Amino acid sequence: MRVVPRLDGRAYQSRFDELAATGMDVHGEASLVRSFGPQTVLDAGCGTGRVAIELARHGIGTLGVDVDDSMISEARRLAPELAWATADLATLSLGRQFDVVVLAGNVPLFCAVAMRAALAASCAAHVRAGGRLIAGFELNRGYEIAEFDTACREAGLGLEDRWCSWDRAPFTDESAYSVSVHAR
Ligand SMILES: C[S@@+](CC[C@H](N)C(=O)[O-])C[C@H]1O[C@@H](n2cnc3c(N)ncnc32)[C@H](O)[C@@H]1O
């Protein structure tokens, strides 16, 4: 279910291209995901494919899914050899599971409030036994971390770790960002 204005994939990607051109590491999410040694990753809410493309560059099998055509078009333009799908995560049922499902870049905050639990449950359902759901999003923006934890728990996943950044800075009660690892 779309709740944000239509995104512009080219403009979204150009922001990251500009940051990368300054020497900034724009692959913190992919680095953390890679540290778990996955062979397969579902990049859930992949946008223009920043995370999936970097993971694939390291030999990991990826599928990028996003509800926004403009974002997926840009991902396909950047990496036509990779697998992309336009679909709503809240109702996604791929019939397969992954070593890691990653939600990078505030994905739940771009989803309708009423569909956020379904989005988390659906993403969790695509995690294989022993696999992980890794999600990073800002706090204090109307989606409580407890809601996400509850949706994960109800979908059979337990909280394994939580940081306030993709490079594993400690999470505290004052943290404005959370990176959560839930395991099945
Ligand atoms: C800020 S972008 C992050 C893109 C990418 N993960 C990254 O980190 O660069 C958030 C993305 O979540 C996607 N999204 C939000 N709700 C979604 C849903 N229900 N199903 C699929 N994609 C969704 C949006 O279309 C958008 O591309």
CATH number for the domain spanning 91: value is 3.40.50.150
From the CB of 151, is ligand 1 less than 6 Å away?
no
Q: Is the pLDDT of residue 4 over 60?
A: no
Question: Which position has the higher pLDDT, 7 or 66?
Answer: 66
From the CB of 89, is ligand 1 less than 6 Å away?
yes
Examine residue 167 and state whether it is found in any structural domain, yes or no.
yes
Name the residue at shortest CA distance from atom 16 of ligand 1.
Answer: 111
- Please report the pLDDT score of residue 127 as a whole number: 98
Residue 131 burial (C-beta neighbours within 10 Å; 0-12, 13-18, 19+): buried
Examine residue 11 and state whether it is found in any structural domain, yes or no.
no
> Which tens digit of pLDDT belongs to each residue from 126-159?
999 999 999 999 999 999 999 999 999 999 999 9
Examine residue 14 and state whether it is found in any structural domain, yes or no.
no
From the CB of 106, is ligand 1 less than 6 Å away?
yes
Is residue 149 helix, strand or coil? helix
Q: Is the pLDDT of residue 3 over 60?
A: no
Name the residue at shortest CA distance from atom 8 of ligand 1.
Answer: 105
From the CB of 105, is ligand 1 less than 6 Å away?
yes
Query: In this prediction, what percent of the chain has a pLDDT beyond 70?
Result: 97
The whole-angstrom separation of Cα 44 and Cα 59 is 18
- Report pTM: 0.96
Q: 67, 100, 101, 179: which to mutate for ligand 1, most atoms within 8 A of CB?
A: 67
Examine residue 9 and state whether it is found in any structural domain, yes or no.
no
Examine residue 95 and state whether it is found in any structural domain, yes or no.
yes
Which residues are bridge partners to 51 per DSSP? none
Domain encompassing residue 90? 27-183
Centre of ligand 1 to C-alpha 110, Å, is: 6
Examine residue 5 and state whether it is found in any structural domain, yes or no.
no
Examine residue 58 and state whether it is found in any structural domain, yes or no.
yes
Q: What stretches of 6-115 show up as alpha helix (H) in DSSP?
A: 9-21, 28-34, 50-57, 69-78
Q: Could you give the number of structural domains in the chain? A: 1
- Please report the pLDDT score of residue 5 as a whole number: 57
From the CB of 138, is ligand 1 less than 6 Å away?
no
From the CB of 86, is ligand 1 less than 6 Å away?
no
Examine residue 125 and state whether it is found in any structural domain, yes or no.
yes
